[in-house]
Structure 1
Amino acid sequence: MTIFPSRRWPVALAFLALPSASFAQSAAPTPPPAGDQSAAQWYLKDPQLDQVPGIGANRAYTEILKNLVPTPVIVAVIDSGIDTAHVDLKPVLWRNTKEIPGNGIDDDKNGYIDDVHGWNFLGGADGRNVGAETLEMTRIVAAGRKRFSGKTAATVKAADKADFALYQKAEKAYTARLKEETERNKEVESMAGPLTMMVQSMKQALGTEKLDTTALKSAKTDDPNMKRAVAGMLDMMRQTGASDADDLLKQLNDGVKQERSMLDNSLNLNFNPRADIIKDNPDDVNQRNYGNNDLYATDPLHGTHVAGIIAAARDNNLGIQGIAGDPVRIMMVRAVPDGDERDKDIANAIRYAVDNGASIINMSFGKEFSPQRPAVEAAYKYAATKNVLLVHAAGNENHNLDLEDNYPASFYLNKGVVPNLLTVGASGPKDNAALTADFSNYSKKGVDVFAPGVAIYSTLPGSTYGNESGTSMAAPVTAGVAAVLKSYFPKLTAADLKRIIMQSAQVHHTKVHVPGTEKEADFSTLSVTGGVVDLYEAVKLAQKATM
């Protein structure tokens, strides 16, 4: 999928009863702000003081952190890219002081030219960038059909049996997914026209150019058909978070484009932009020095939003407040396309971040297959040797990860726990049946903790702001908490950070909807901790641990 999976399904399509294939679900951005908009950040509120299942960030700064002195921390964001000119992010970007910008020379001899704020492993030396990519299953099937044509499990060589089994599994998943997406594409395309006509007719009938909640609720009509249309429009806007009918149409049309891209690119067995642009050997996991320094690239929306959650400037009285304040810095490592990320790129992105001083790495992406998993696990272990915490989004398929695969995995191939990895599910803004986000993956073994991931207000390209929902947002909330702890208590190890965040999570015994089912369960049974991350309690615990 990718950015869980790379923003493939905006929440706006919820009214079409379509499942999310992305770790982030989008709403329309708001214009550049005139001032402080942090009141829109419900997730910073405190569960005790505000009766909102947030992380208690405001309370932590007001009651405890104001008397402490923070130290520099670098948080790497492995993602789609970033708008380095964003007014709320520019002051907090990591700066490679050993590199002279724009001189075309690898001044610090680290193998990457002009990597001032990070690196792009999806770029070519000529400045072009990979945007859309295939799914991992597509790549496995494309290669497998050539390699195993005419072979069966009985006739394939013993040395190839594992690869053949992987190919067969991917072939089955690919066939089902192609059928599903083809049918879904027809469905969304068939809905775009009628909804457009419906909106136009309602505007004309109600005498308004703006069909927002206010206009619809105040609509006066005796026509039973119009009453049903108004009720239906309000329901669609409520489900999708659309600000008005035009926003709803935009989200639907965006969904149509995304679905077409799924068929034309993600599931296209002949699509291979990497070969022409990056020109590396994707099978050589030991190859390190490729890419370019273009961090904006093709679509930085997801990475920009994630970065703002972690550390958007807190003291400029503008826009939002990142969870972590100065002197925490954001390093962007682009490795996630609009499609499935490649294991090689993720392994290299982790190593780049570690080698350039990151203490925490946020990873809001994931996929169903991982053919080069040992390379990623080796990078995990390398990060552990350098005391680096990895924070990974659990995924948006509403799956039980005890039963379904999601990579990078929470466990090593030998089933051992990754001591420096936190896997995070998404929670909502109310302590009720919807506390567990309906799209979030969950697991009593494979998801460590939940964090706010619904309607998360943060930075978007062009110095704008908007809401996104997904475990892609829950992970950076948790990474931001880890950054605060590391900044104020620098002696904490990666294992300490993981332990403190998990032990301080606020356990809820609320009866919630189990994502993707009609069942109800105690929220505490859906993750290892059964809780939602809590910065205020984590700071208190960190104080005790470092006394």
Structure 2
Amino acid sequence: MRKKWITTSLIAMFVLTFFAPLEARALADESGKVTFTKGLDMEGVKISVYHQSAPLAKENVKSLCFLDSYFLETGYCVTTGFEVGYNGSENSRFVSLTENYHLPIDLPATGYIWLETTTEDIFVEYTVSDYLYTRDVVYMDVFVPGQSVTVFGIGMSDASSLQLGEKIIDGKNIISRSSNQITFKVPSDAKPGGRVFQLVNPISNAIPVYVSPVVFNDPYQPSQWYLAQQQIYEAYDVFAGESEMVVAVVDDGIYLNHEDLSSKIWLNEDEIQGNGLDDDKNGFVDDIFGWNFLHGNKDLEVKGAHGTMVAGIIAAEKNNEKGIAGIADNVKLMPLIVCDTMGCDAASVANAIKYAVDNGADVINVSLGTSGVTAYSEVYNEVIKYANDHNVPVVAAAGNGDVNGGIGFDLGQFKQSPVCNETKSSDVIGVGALAWLVSLPAWANYGSCVDVYALGEHVVSTTVPIYDLEGGLYTAADGSSFSAPIATGVISLIKSAYPNISNAALHKYLTASSIEGILIAEDAFMLIKEQYTSADDFVAGEVSAVDVDIQAIFSDVPGDHKNVQAIIYLQQNGVINGYPDGTFKPENYVNRAELLKILVGGKGIFPDAAMYNNCFPDVKNDWYAPYVCYAKKEGWVGGYPDGTFKPDKTINKVEALKMLLNSQSVQLPGFVDVAPFEDVATTDWFASYAAKAKELGILEETGYFLNPGEEMKRASISENLYRLLTL
């Protein structure tokens, strides 16, 4: 671990002095010194201004901008939200900001504040200083109950009371205080949720400090502030998953001998090491622990430290008195190399994703950021759809402005791969980065391709000694590359408890549980726990805490479409999918294979392709085989007289109703004595199905005719299933 990362608290002091530009004269006194945290909301920050000519009025202030030491604009200006107050003498005033602005992460260390008024320009010199704290080892502003903490600010001595969250910091916990700082002990009963240090007085802000419980015996665990920020500690109390998960790390490799990772490496049990044969017939010889797609061989020697950091965040060994605590238990890490020190290769990434799916990965993490591989390319579309069809979520980092000089940009306008290679919302789970004060760093990409945000600043994890400046096993770094594995770890926890949860459902609960896009693990788990009673049983019809959002998910299903609520409900619950071009094609006729996928998905079941295949001569190992074979086993369907299933044959209304009602185990009437429709006789084989469907109110038809031989459309079967599930 790089100690300078661990013991440095990023609190920046701006010392403001004045000089006389042009004909204006501005002077500073002691109250002109301002202390606040870099990246922190600037609401209430005061800048003292002294005028010999005339007092400054609120209406005089036009803008406040930061300039570098050469008086060049940094691009950071605010033009609204000013307040001007009396500062103790006739011509002395202060300017404060009344809105929640925050400083950019890349603000120059020295420069000038340019205060533009209607009468003059005032320039205020500033300096950024970083303070090194060593008392009791302050882990990047993550504080353990009982630990000493120093907070810098203004008006410390005037505060009427001090609070940490809802916990009052009383006299016995205050060690020392002055006008610009206070040192206190975190109360022993402080909770992780009480993260905000509040000075109760008119001029000071709340300062997030992040209380971290000591949950594991791993020495750097208190420095893993994302465990508290993302409420992962609380999530551990909700449930414990039992199923082992395989997480593919598509990156530059994993240091296989790392003390915190060596027990977590995936093993291909179907391959015999060193015999030079492809024992498992998967097309890769001696792929015991993974594969090097960059060079097409089994060499897994790490090509950098990036993948090792990603791996540690996801699954480093807990409670081994070493290093850090990974987020997910019961995880094996599959190292797939697609990058080296020269960069990454897009074709290798695509091949690695397919390999991961074919060889048992449950989650795939792709944290890439080099321009050659992240430029938007449709080469990823097919393989990401392949992963989605096999219910394997792909988690992708949003990027760090890598192709824009390190300045973050809107992915909705300038798409990147693979985070934006989605044909519907659940195809890729895009993860953006947050700064430690829950603000968006200047370097972080954002926009419509980002589904959730997780902490990406000063993330502590495992590393490779030869790539560490101090030869250590642990370090810290910034970037969405390290936000993505936080989400991957949370997803692994969820899938460990609910192995059959669909990609669409995962997407739904992760985003529904977020607060302004910030991933909140505990809330996601609670929503899922409400919705699922077991790994295989979907509680239909109870969206509970998450209402159906009536908006156009598919480009050809507008918000006023008559079946939009049904289509969105089924899509959000992982029952139906769209096409690669983002459409649903509601007027297309549904065939027998497609219908069974919808109906099996409606039960919350996603059959294992290895178990369900080759059940008809014309249903072998196709994408629909698991659904057809599962339905056959359950007695929902049979074959034609010639023994075939005819998966591509379109299906009419009554055939669809039979499959639908059988799939949901609906009790049919023993006989039908009154025809439910004028074109349905009581003696027709489908009379009981038509009568029951009409009784339940799941049909769109409200007149005298059913038109039983009419082919079923995708929108219509969606409506029928939706109505049945939500009875």
When normalised by structure 2's length, the TM-score is: 0.41
Q: Distance in 1 between matches of 2:376 and 2:488?
A: 26
Shift of 1:16: 8.1
Distance 1:411 1:112 in 2: 27
Deviation at 1:58, TM superposition (A): 1.3
Which of 95, 107, 111 is the aligned partner of 2:279?
107
Among 77, 94, 98, the residue aligned to 2:249: 77
CA distance in 2, matches of 1:55, 1:117: 31
- Structure 2 CA distance for aligned equivalents of residues 453 and 94 of structure 1: 26
1:366 Cα deviation (Å)? 3.7
- Relative to 1, partners in 2 of residues 1:406 and 1:368: Cα closer, same or farther, differing over 3 Å? farther
SS of the aligned residue for 1:77 comes to strand
In the alignment, which residue of structure 2 is the partner of 1:353?
356
Counterpart selection for 1:321 from 322, 325, 329: 325
Task: Point out the structure with the larger helix share.
Answer: 1
Deviations 1:480-520 (A, max 9, x none): 1100000012221122111111111122xxxxxxxxxxxxx
Return the alpha-carbon distance in structure 2 between the equivalents of residues 373 and 458 of structure 1: 31
Measured in 2, the distance between the counterparts of 1:102 and 1:539 equals 42
Q: CA deviation at 1:439?
A: 1.1
Q: Is the 1:367–1:407 Cα contact (8 Å) retained in structure 2?
A: no
Shift of 1:423: 0.8
The aligned residue for residue 681 of structure 2 is: none
What's the TM-score once normalised by structure 1's chain length?
Answer: 0.54
Q: Which amino acid aligns with 1:422?
A: I
Hey, what's the Cα distance between the residues in 2 that align with 1:39 and 1:115? 37
Tell me the amino acid that sits aligned with residue 528 of structure 2: A
- Structure 1 unaligned residues grouped into runs of 5+: 1-12, 18-29, 46-53, 124-290, 508-530
Q: Contact (CA 8 Å) 2:432, 2:444: kept in 1 or not?
A: yes
Determine whether 1:490 maps to 2:499: yes
Question: Counterpart amino acid of 2:398?
Answer: A
Question: Aligned partners of 2:241, 2:293: CA distance in 1, in Å?
Answer: 36
CA distances 1:158-205 after superposition (whole Å, capped 9, x unpaired)? xxxxxxxxxxxxxxxxxxxxxxxxxxxxxxxxxxxxxxxxxxxxxxxx
1:407 to 398, 413, 417: 417
Query: Who is 1:64 aligned against?
Result: 238
Alignment partners' CA distance in 2, 1:449 and 1:35:
28
Match of 1:250 in 2: none
Q: Distance in 2 between matches of 1:296 and 1:14?
A: 35
Counterpart secondary structure, 2:474: strand
Rg (Cα) greater in structure: 2
1:396 aligns with 2:367: no
Q: Which of 374, 377, 383 matches 1:379? A: 383
Q: Which of 529, 532, 546 matches 1:546? A: 532
Which residue is 1:281 aligned to? Answer: none
Aligned length in residues: 310
Amino acid in the other structure paired with 2:361: A
More strand by share: 2
> RMSD in angstroms over aligned alpha carbons?
2.3
For residue 102 of structure 1, report the CA deviation from its aligned partner.
2.6
Residue in structure 2 matching 1:296, options 282, 301, 306: 301
Aligned partner of 2:201 in structure 1 is: none
| Contact 1:426–1:454 under 8 Å retained in 2 | yes
**C-alpha distance in 2 between matches for 1:69 and 1:410:** 30
Give the gaps of 5 or more residues in structure 2.
Answer: 1-104, 110-138, 140-216, 402-407, 466-471, 534-727
Measured at CA, do residues 85 and 368 of structure 1 come closer, stay the same or move farther in structure 2, by a change above 3 Å?
closer
* Alignment partner, residue 258 of structure 2: 86
Q: Deviations over 1:229-276 (max 9, x none)?
A: xxxxxxxxxxxxxxxxxxxxxxxxxxxxxxxxxxxxxxxxxxxxxxxx
**1:43 Cα deviation from its structure 2 partner:** 0.5
Offset at residue 298 of structure 1 (A) = 2.9
Q: 1:369 to 1:417 in 2, by over 3 A?
A: farther
Equivalent residue in structure 1 for 2:314, among 290, 306, 310:
310
Mapping for residues 59-208 of structure 1, pairs under 5 Å: 59-61=234-236, 63-65=237-239, 68-123=240-295
How far residue 329 of structure 1 moved from its aligned partner, in angstroms, is: 1.2
Cα 1:114–1:406 shift into 2, 3 Å: same
Match of 2:344, SS state, is: coil
* Change over 3 Å in CA distance of 1:460–1:297 after alignment to 2: closer
Tell me the percent identity. 36
Q: CA deviation at 1:14?
A: 6.1
Quote the Cα distance in structure 2 between the aligned partners of 1:496 and 1:74.
19
Equivalent residue of 1:532, what SS?
A: coil
Given that residues 367 and 408 in structure 1 are in contact (C-alpha distance below 8 angstroms), is that contact kept between their aligned partners in structure 2?
no
Q: CA deviation at 1:38?
A: 0.6
Q: 2:582 maps to which residue?
A: none
Q: Is the contact made by 1:350 and 1:361 (CA closer than 8 Å) also made in structure 2?
A: yes
Q: Is the 8 A contact 1:410 1:417 kept in 2?
A: no
Compute the displacement of 1:295 (Å): 1.7
Which of 434, 453, 478 aligns to 1:469? It is 478
Deviations 1:99-130 (A, max 9, x none): 1223332221212122111111112xxxxxxx
- Deviation at 1:373? 3.1
What is the letter of the counterpart of residue 74 of structure 1? V
Which residue in the other structure is 1:532 paired with?
Answer: 518
Structure with the bigger RCO (C-alpha within 8 Å, sep 6+) is: 1
SS at match of 1:506: coil
Query: How do 1:260-271 and structure 2 match up within 5 A?
Result: none
Is 2:443 the partner of 1:439? yes
Counterpart of 1:333 in structure 2 is 336
Write the letter of the residue equivalent to 2:526: K
- Following the alignment from structure 1 to structure 2, what is the Cα–Cα distance between the partners of residues 298 and 400? 30
Q: Which residue matches 1:451?
A: 454
Q: How big is the shift at 1:315?
A: 3.1
Deviation at 1:341, TM superposition (A): 2.5
Whether the aligned pair in 2 keeps the contact of 1:81 and 1:296 (CA below 8 Å) is yes
Residue 459 of structure 1, CA deviation: 0.4
SS in 2 for 1:544: helix
Asked if the contact 2:396/2:429 (under 8 Å) is kept, the reply is: yes
- Decide whether the 8 Å contact of 1:362 with 1:476 is kept in 2: yes
